[in-house]
Structure 1
Amino acid sequence: MNKRSKKFLSLLVSTMLVGSLLVGCTTNKTAEKKTTTAVTQTEKTKATYADGSYITDAKWLSQNLKNKDILILDARSDKDYAKGHIPGAINVAWQGFSNMEGKPGDKGWGVVLSDDKLSEKLSAIGVDKTKNIVIYADNKSGWGEDGRFVWMLKMAGIENAKMLNGGFNFWESSKYEVSKEVTAPVASKFKIENSNKAGTINTEELAAKLGKVKILDSREKDEYNGAVKFGEARGGHIPGAINLTFNSLFKEDKTFKSAGEIEAIFKAAGLNKEDEIVTYCTAGIRSAHLALALRMMGYNNVKNYDESFYTWAKDASLKVEK
């Protein structure tokens, strides 16, 4: 090989080496850029709430089903429970923990039981402060019963109670385990020591605050406009109430919308975090769920009117709008 050929070959090899180094460097930078972009996008799309302690997700629960420190409560009907439920779940109904004496609209009907009676009921299903309690309902057609239970438990001093994000609908559609085996509760010795009533308001208190608080009607639009669907004495809504259905905060898969989406809904309703807010529905169930969603977003001065429209509509001295 002559000198000219050797020189050409040496130049060719050098060029190839430099090229390969440049390609490798470019590939690494591209990969690094993609990774950085992916992390950024994840952070941007992550649903971050002011207080995420009110919910837990199905994946976490599925990984902890065998954990003895978890108490799972199924707040759906007994018929739905019998068709299939999350393994280990105990079937409960909000009525069993509320005053059912008399009939809807009677003073005190539907409100949470007294501390002594509620302590007995909660002990019977194994509630205590050492357990993580997860409650779920039917987020597709239910009334937000899981929210009612968590709201009630918070009042009773149980801080480690959470709603299952998406409810049974999301659990089932995600193909997590479903059982028909009935779980018998193991009783505890729970006793309410200092109940917190700051999250509730009665009829007299609300009537005195009309025009001074933001009132949210968590029922469906037709109920707000006057439809009588559940035996209410009158149709319509509490004067000045804003209609904001509790399930408007759900995505198609029945999990909560992102923090940004929920905040936009609250802002569109004219809410500010400094406002004193009262939620209501027919019997304080859907409104309890909405009250928790508000707290989850940092609207902390919120109360659930659990006597709700049943009681308001039956009192002829109180005005109703349509």
Structure 2
Amino acid sequence: MNRLLRMSKNRRIFVYLAVIGVLLFLVLVAAGCGGKTAGTAPPKEVKPLDKEMEPYYVDVAWLKENLSKVVVLDARSEKEYNEGHIPGAINVTWQSLSNMTPKQGEAGWGVVLPQEELAKKIGSFGIDGSKPVIIYNDPKGLGEEGRVLWMLRIAGLKDTRMLNGGFPAWKAGGGEISKEVPAVKPVDFKITSPDNSLLATTDYIRSNMSKIKLVDARSIEEYTGKTNHGEKALGHIPGAISIPYNNAYNSDGTIKSIAELKEIFSKAGLDPSDDIVVYCTVGIRSGFLTEILRMCGYEKAKNYNASFSEWAGLGLPVEK
């Protein structure tokens, strides 16, 4: 009798342990095969660039494949650059190609360097026009990649493009990151075919006010005079249309499609035949938006480089 009781007890223990084992196994299977690891998300599908974008943009896959065949420029701040950048990239900020001697509000502050100085500065970065130039930034910035592109194209460097999605896209795509500063060999660069059709001045705007369409690339808060970036007046140039530059980006920092961009511009009242002048505070955001407009077929778009800082500094009319 005692022996039977012991056997029954042992059997209950065995069944109990077996049930626990099965439950643990099911829990582990559920954890391991649930489809996602906590804190991660499946990689987003990379949307291919529209064909019309090819003269202006490259994607991460293209840059990885062609990294040794191009000159890469990092348009971010020196601090961001030093924290990590695309291997071989040269740090070229918008300020390095601009006249930073005047103070904000004074004539000429922040405008692209005169041709001879610009050529010398471009040459100091080892750029001679023999290789394509790819520029990147962080989309959270102010469109500095577009401003640098705009200045290089003024200098006649047409084979210049931006990296779609910028540095965040490079990192998300598994691109290598370096802190090594490349050795740059200066070259004797000459500007032989400048493209001044990209540039508008204060005098040009005043002389053609009835013929042009002005686009304000700043935030709506700046446009309506609720805030500013240090300009001497609040508001905008009379008659200007508000198209914030960052409307051109998707939420992930990549550029919107040509169709989406054209819809934005069309709804704002722009036509590809228009003489368009884009401005912001000092031609950074507007330099970017000018290039986006040109990419979309608005071939007469110009960047008012001195922008609202000079306009307001001269005491010219503004409205809110």
TM-score of Structure 1 vs Structure 2, range by shorter chain: 0.7 to 0.9
Which amino acid is 2:109 matched to?
Answer: W
| Large movers: runs of 4+ above 3 Å | none
CA contact (8 A) 1:167 1:254 kept: yes
Which amino acid is 1:320 matched to?
Answer: V
CA contact (8 A) 1:225 1:237 kept: yes
Partner of 2:62: 60
CA contact (8 A) 2:212 2:276 kept: yes
Q: Secondary structure at the match of 2:129?
A: coil
Structure 1 pair 257–51 and aligned structure 2 pair: CA distance change class (3 A): closer
In 2: Cα distance, 1:49 partner to 1:138 partner: 23
Partner of 1:88: 88
Pairs within 5 Å for 1:170-189: 170-189=169-188
Select the residue among 314, 317, 320 that pairs with 2:318: 320
Structure 1 pair 298–51 and aligned structure 2 pair: CA distance change class (3 A): farther
In 2: Cα distance, 1:233 partner to 1:126 partner: 38
Partner of 2:238: 239
In 1: Cα distance, 2:304 partner to 2:169 partner: 29
State the TM-score, normalized to the length of structure 1: 0.82
Pairs within 5 Å for 1:217-296: 217-296=216-295
Partner of 1:122: 122
Partner of 2:71: 71
- Following superposition, the deviation at residue 51 of structure 1 comes to 5.2
Pairs within 5 Å for 1:72-221: 72-140=72-140, 142-221=141-220
Q: How many residues align?
A: 274
| Superposed CA RMSD | 1.4
In 1: Cα distance, 2:290 partner to 2:260 partner: 17
Which amino acid is 1:56 matched to?
Answer: V
Deviations 1:195-242 (A, max 9, x none): 221111100110222232111111111111113432110111011111
Structure 1: unaligned runs, 5 residues or longer: 1-44
CA contact (8 A) 2:278 2:302 kept: yes
Identity of aligned residues (%): 46
Deviations 1:58-91 (A, max 9, x none): 11101222x2x31100010011111111111011
CA contact (8 A) 1:74 1:135 kept: yes
CA contact (8 A) 2:282 2:305 kept: yes
CA contact (8 A) 1:46 1:258 kept: no
In 2: Cα distance, 1:47 partner to 1:185 partner: 31
Deviations 1:150-188 (A, max 9, x none): 111111111111111111122122222111111222212
State the TM-score, normalized to the length of structure 2: 0.82
